[in-house]
Amino acid sequence: MNLRCTPSHLHGEINLNANDSSNIFLLCAGALSEEGVTLKGFKADGFAAKVLDVLDYMGANVSRDNENITVSRNRLFGMSVNVNGNELEFFVYCALASVCEKGFIQLSGLKTIKSETVDLAVKTLTKLGVACSFDDEDELIIWGGNDITGGTADANGNIYFALALTVLSCEASIPIDIHNTGGLEKTFPDYIRSFNLLNGKIETIK
C-alpha cells in the first residue's frame, strides 16, 4: 500500500479502539499541534510511558488523566537516548528528532539494529531535508530545525518507518508520498482512521 500524507497539524480527541504501538506516533504528531490531541483509553505503560516522559522532557505539553492522554505543542528540544536495539524506539525518536525545533537527538545503542534499517532511515531523512550525522556504527545524530521538503519516500516494507514518516508529513512543505508501507493497514488497521479523525490527511494512492 502507498500513502499520500498532506501536511496538517493533528488536533481533537478520539476514543481508541486498540492499544497498539501505532498510537505512540499519534502522540508524537500531537506534540506538533497547538491545540493538541487527546487519546481516550490510552494505556500509558511500558514503552508508551517512556515516550510520554521523553515528550515531556523535550518540552511538549503532556497531561495525563487516568487513561486519557493529551499532548500539545511547545518548543521541542533535543536530547540523548539509548534505543537498546529496539526498532520501534529507533523510529519513534527518528520522527521526534526530525521535527525538533532546536538542538539534536543523539541516538545510541544501534549495533543490534540491522545496518540496512539505519541506512534506510538516514538516506530517506536526508532526502526529505533532515540533517543527519552517522559517523559511528552505534551512534546517529539527527539535527532539529529542519525544513522538511516532502516528496516521495520509500519505507521499504518497514511499518514503523512508515508510521514515523506520517509524523514528518505534519511539518513538511508539500505532501509526502510513502511507498511500500509493509502491510500497515493489516498490522495497525485503526491508525489511518485515527489519524484522519484527528484532522490529519492520509489517503491511499497507487
Q: How far apart are CA 83 and CA 128, in angstroms?
A: 23
Q: Does any domain span residue 69?
A: yes
pLDDT by residue (tens digit) across 57-84? 999 999 998 889 999 999 899 999 999 8
pLDDT by residue (tens digit) across 124-173? 999 999 999 987 778 999 999 999 999 999 999 999 999 999 999 999 99
Count of domains in the chain? 1
Q: Does any domain span residue 172?
A: yes
Q: Does any domain span residue 97?
A: yes
Task: Please list, residue by residue across 154-182, b when 16 or more beta carbons sit within 10 angstroms of its beta carbon and e when fewer do.
Answer: bbbebbbbbbbbbbbbbbbeebbbbebbb
Q: Does any domain span residue 206?
A: no
**What value, to the nearest 5°, has the Cα angle with vertex 119 and ends 19 and 81?**
55
User: In this structure, what CATH number is given to the domain that contains residue 67?
Assistant: 3.65.10.10
152 Cβ contact partners less than 8 Å away, ≥ 6 residues apart: 176, 177, 179
Grid coordinates representing 189 are 488497521
Query: Whole-model pTM?
Result: 0.95
Beta carbons within 10 angstroms of residue 28's beta carbon: 28
Widest CA span in the chain: 43
Q: Does any domain span residue 76?
A: yes
Give the residue numbers spanning the domain of 115.
Answer: 2-201
In contact, 39 and 180? CB cutoff 8 Å: no
Q: Does any domain span residue 114?
A: yes
pLDDT score, position 167:
97
Grid coordinates representing 79 are 536530547
